């Protein structure tokens, strides 16, 4: 699934051995850095050697997440499926005094993913933060809430299984989506007990959220020093192309919780769902 709610934000709290040398940022962002320094001074664990990758970074919330992470002084790799749109986004950020790296990445294309992973491994030895932001929505309107997607599934047994992190499995998530897709194919989905509003979007977000919890559970057993924290968040209803620029929130507000999560120093926050920097129920 490449449509995400609820961005997944993964941070690897493991120092990489090396990273590229980076130029100093321009003065216009120094004030912002000091502001963040005050806010995060107890927990400022990142540096220019910290590598953050953002998918769908050419516009909307992803673009703003790139901007904010770069302003914090990290090495940010802005990716997009359309290379010209990504290069253009990098230029805009450069005009603001921010220097980001670009690479093409279409998260629905396995050859693009493989090329990106090889390039990342060769040039940076891996990453510290992944913001899985890329997504699509073919519906319009304010009622796009994924929070309620699970509640809207009428099959109580399936609802319970998806709610219980212990019973979650890749197989369960895949089977749920395969069943839905099969019913879309044969036209029976309207009576299949799926969410009635924005059914495709809701289910794709439900899958991302379920996968976040499952991945967090699996990775939680790693020893200290090799931890990977995986969380997701809802940006609210944001004025981007995805909502026809009709949301309540600005992109700055929509990006805020994602950036905050990516920069959390605490290694115990994992498998959670957030909005406005607060934990909410899946
Ligand atoms: N806006 C909201 O109110 C809202 C609410 C809840 C959740 N979200 C989620 O927030 C995320 C960002 O949305 P947005 O509002 O910023 O929308 P947006 O402005 O439409 O941006 C979506 C981004 O995802 C990219 N993308 C789509 N498919 C891709 C693929 N296969 N590979 C790589 N990139 C791909 C798009 O690239 P192209 O430019 O090439 O299309 C674009 O950069 C989405 O996951 C969305 O579901 C948004």
What digits encode the pLDDT tens for the residues 167-194? Answer: 899 999 999 999 988 988 898 888 888 8
Cβ atoms within 10 A of the Cβ of 266, count?
10
The reply to whether CATH 1.10.645.10 applies to domain 7-145+212-280 is no
- Of 279, 243, 246, the C-alpha closest to 260 is 279
Residues in the chain with pLDDT < 70? 1-8, 10-42, 139-152
In ligand 1, which atom is closest to the CA atom of 146? 6
Structure tokens at 33: 């850095």
Measured in Å, residue 165 CA sits from the centre of ligand 1 at: 27
Q: What residues does each domain of the chain span? A: 7-145+212-280
CB of 86 closer than 6 A to ligand 1?
no
**Whole-angstrom distance, CA of residue 263 vs CA of residue 43:** 9
Give, using CA atoms, the residue closest to atom 8 of ligand 1. Answer: 5
CA atoms within 13 Å, Cβ hemisphere of 53: 25
From first CA to last CA, the distance across the chain in angstroms is 18
The pTM (predicted TM-score) of the whole model is 0.85
Please give the mean pLDDT across all residues of the chain.
Answer: 84
pLDDT of residue 102: 98
CB of 198 closer than 6 A to ligand 1?
no
Contact indicator for 212, 8 with CB cutoff of 8 Å: yes
Contacts of 205 (CB under 8 A, 6+ apart): 3, 4, 5, 6, 146, 149
CB of 55 closer than 6 A to ligand 1?
yes
Q: Tokens 């879309």 appear where?
A: 184
| Predicted confidence (pLDDT) per residue in 16-63, tens digit | 433 333 333 333 444 455 555 555 555 789 999 999 999 999 999 999
Measured in Å, residue 61 CA sits from the centre of ligand 1 at: 7
Give, using CA atoms, the residue closest to atom 20 of ligand 1. Answer: 242
């Amino acid at each position: 699934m490449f449509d995400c709610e609820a961005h997944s934000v993964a941070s690897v709290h493991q120092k990489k051995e090396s990273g590229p040398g980076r130029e100093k940022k321009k003065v216009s962002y120094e004030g912002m850095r000091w502001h963040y320094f005050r806010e995060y001074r107890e927990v400022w664990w990142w540096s220019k050697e910290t590598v953050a990758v953002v998918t769908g970074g050419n516009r909307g919330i992803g673009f703003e997440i790139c901007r904010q992470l770069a302003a914090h002084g990290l090495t940010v790799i802005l990716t997009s499926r359309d290379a010209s749109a990504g290069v253009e986004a990098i230029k805009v950020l450069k005009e603001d005094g921010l220097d980001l790296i670009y690479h093409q990445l279409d998260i629905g294309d396995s050859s693009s993913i493989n090329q990106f992973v090889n390039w990342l491994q060769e040039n940076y030895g891996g990453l510290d933060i992944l913001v899985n932001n890329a997504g699509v929505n073919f519906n319009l309107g304010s009622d796009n809430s994924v929070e309620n997607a699970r509640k809207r599934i009428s099959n109580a047994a399936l609802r319970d299984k998806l709610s219980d992190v212990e019973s979650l499995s890749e197989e369960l998530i895949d089977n749920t989506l395969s069943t839905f897709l099969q019913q879309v194919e044969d036209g029976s989905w309207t009576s299949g007990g799926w969410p009635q509003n924005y059914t495709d979007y809701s289910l794709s977000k439900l899958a991302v959220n379920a996968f976040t919890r499952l991945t967090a559970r699996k990775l939680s057993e790693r020893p200290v020093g090799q931890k990977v924290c995986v969380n997701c968040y809802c940006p609210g209803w944001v004025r981007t192309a995805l909502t026809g620029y009709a949301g309540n929130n600005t992109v700055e507000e929509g990006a805020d919780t994602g950036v905050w999560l990516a920069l959390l120093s605490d290694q115990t926050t994992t498998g959670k769902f957030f909005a406005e920097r607060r934990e909410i129920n899946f």
